[in-house]
Structure formats: structure tokens, C-alpha cells
Amino acid sequence: MFQCHVCGSKQARQDFITQIFLLDDKPVIVHDIPAEICVRCGESVFDISTMEKIRRMVHGEAVPVKSVVTEVFEFAQSSQRNPANLRESAVQNL
């Protein structure tokens, strides 16, 4: 049974999402990932088998369908960051 770890809602919908992961500090985009999405806050959750398939894909078991160049901007200088105030990033490390 679904329960959102962000807002506590028990209602979710099934959908396919696009997610950015960091692999050795390099962004990797994975499209069409099956996920449960909280209807209240929009948080997405993958099951363990989906996460394992993603891990295998980005570590060489799949061939990328295309490559893109990505612009990177830094909002705050590293001396201004306070880890205690940072929320979880939308980008996940693998």
C-alpha cells in the first residue's frame, strides 16, 4: 500500500516519468520510468525492481538513445551553502 514519505497521503496514481540521475557527477536522463506519484504533493516513487533496472541500464547494460549537452549554473557560491538548510535535490545520485 502506498504512503507518501513526503506528505503522508495514501493516494497515488501510476504514470511514467523522466528523471535525472548523477553518475560520477555526470547527469544521466532516463525517460519513461514507471512510478507511483502522490496525488497530493507530486512526489514520485519507484519500486525496487525498477530502481535496479535503472542502475543496470546506466552502468552499461543499455545503450543511450541519444546524447545531449547540458548547461550548468551555480545559484550560490560554495561558501554560501549551508547543508543544514538544503532540501533533497531532484537529481539523484546512483
Instruction: List CB contacts of 94: < 8 A, sequence separation 6 or more.
Output: 21, 22, 23, 28, 54, 55, 58, 59
CA distance linking residue 5 with residue 45, whole number of Å: 9
Each residue's pLDDT, cut to its tens digit, for the chain (94 residues) gives 899 999 999 999 999 999 999 999 889 999 999 999 999 999 999 999 999 999 999 999 999 999 998 888 888 876 666 655 555 455 666 6
Class of domain 12-93: alpha beta
Domain ranges of the chain: 12-93
- pTM across the whole model: 0.74
CA distance linking residue 14 with residue 21, whole number of Å: 21
